[in-house]
Amino acid sequence: MLGRGVKRKWSCLEELEVETLPAAAAEKEKNEVEEEEQKDEDGLLASPSKSDMSHLQQRQRVLGLCLEKLQRYQAGVELSLRRSVLLINTLRQIQEDMQSDGVGTCAPEVLLNGVHSDSCILREDMPVTCPGCAEGDGGNLSPPLSPESSSQEATSSPDQQKSLPAATINAFSDAVNAMGYLSDLALDDIFEDIDTSMYETSDLPSAWASSSLWPVSVSLWADEDVKMRPPGHASAGGLQSCLMDLNELDHIMEILVKS
């Protein structure tokens, strides 16, 4: 991103943008030409799958871009409040769109293929399905993007649902962390005397997460988790080990209660 008061040559940025722009424009042009052709062929009563697919494709793409942009702004590079609000509102809109689409059907293979190349943030080996395609709990609208639910559903449909890894959640939390001025308080102050922060969400970004923006109901503060975790669980992937701790705790409680 742009430095501060540093005389950096514009040509570096130009190179970056020149790379993205023709590619993006060309790709979008191609997609749109295809979309328009389909629409023209089918007329107003377009077969739902075709127009839905382009809509879903675009939605997935915008979703990926949204997350990428929020992730991109690491600490030290400020994300303007206007931009972050617009991005988050777009995320909300996509989420509402997904939820309203939840009862619709679409071929998961098609969606996966469409998502594969377009989505920037998702890795090659971790495709995402839309809620409508989620197998597992019938009619359950909780999308498989939640690592919590995915760990539960992992056994039911492992081939279709892979959780958005902690990487994405961390990315989101990093981005939201970087929005330092959204909370006027130093975040450490809030967490000082709370020892259940591992389990609860707190403050605005995780509040955003819990209040229906993103169906992730675990704490986003991966860093905090590293601090709070009892020694002996010092591995990376803090989120997963927290969940395992939770499960272990439950297990232990069960045993204690039974005896």
Partner 1 sequence: MAGPGGDMQWCFSQVKGAIDDDVAEADIISTVEFNHTGELLATGDKGGRVVIFQQEIENKSQPQFRSEYNVYSTFQSHEPEFDYLKSLEIEEKINKIRWLPQKNAAQFLLSTNDKTIKLWKISERDKRPEGYNLKEEDGRYKDPNTITSLRVPVLIPMDLMVEASPRRVFANAHTYHINSISVNSDNETYLSADDLRINLWHLEITDRSFNIVDIKPANMEELTEVITAAEFHPHQCNTFVYSSSKGTIRLCDMRASALCDKHSKLFEEPEDPSNRSFFSEIISSISDVKFSHNGRYMMTRDYLSVKIWDLNMENRPVETYQVHEYLRSKLCSLYENDCIFDKFECCWNGNDSVVMTGSYNNFFRMFDRGQRRDVTLEASRENSKPLQVLKPRKVCAGGKRKKDEISVDSLDFNKKILHTAWHPQDNIIAVATTNNLYIFQDKVN
CA distance 31 to 59: 13
* Nearest distance from C-beta of residue 47 to partner 1, angstroms: 21
Check residue 246 for interaction with partner 1 (CB under 8 A). Answer: no
Check residue 138 for interaction with partner 1 (CB under 8 A). Answer: no
Check residue 117 for interaction with partner 1 (CB under 8 A). Answer: no
Cα angle value 40/33/128 (rounded, 5°): 105
Site for partner 1 in 83-112 (CB under 8 A): 83, 85-86, 89-90, 93-94, 97
Q: Determine how many CB atoms are found less than 10 A away from the CB of residue 77.
A: 12
Q: What is the DSSP letter of 243?
A: H
Which of 109-117, 134-142, 161-169, 178-186 is the region at the interface with partner 1 (rule: CB under 8 A)?
A: 178-186
138 burial (CB, 10 Å; 0-12 / 13-18 / 19+) is exposed
Which of 38-46, 55-63, 121-129, 232-240 is the region at the interface with partner 1 (rule: CB under 8 A)?
A: 55-63
CA distance 112 to 68: 19
Which of 177, 178, 166, 168 is CA-nearest to residue 243?
A: 166
51 burial (CB, 10 Å; 0-12 / 13-18 / 19+) is middle
Closer Cβ to partner 1, 133 or 208, answer by number: 208
Which of 69-77, 109-117, 140-148, 167-175 is the region at the interface with partner 1 (rule: CB under 8 A)?
A: 69-77
Check residue 74 for interaction with partner 1 (CB under 8 A). Answer: no
Which of 153, 160, 147 is CA-nearest to residue 242?
A: 147
Which of 6-14, 102-110, 128-136, 245-253 is the region at the interface with partner 1 (rule: CB under 8 A)?
A: 6-14
| Residue found under tokens 């998961």 | 108
Contact indicator for 153, 136 with CB cutoff of 8 Å: yes
Per rule CB under 8 A, count of chain residues that contact partner 1: 55
With CB under 8 A as the contact rule, the residue among 41, 42, 48, 75 that binds partner 1 is 75
Which of 20-28, 160-168, 222-230, 243-251 is the region at the interface with partner 1 (rule: CB under 8 A)?
A: 20-28
Binding site for partner 1 (CB under 8 A): 2-11, 13-14, 17-18, 20-22, 24-29, 32, 58-59, 61-62, 65, 69, 75-76, 78, 80-83, 85-86, 89-90, 93-94, 97, 180-184, 186, 204-205, 207-208, 211
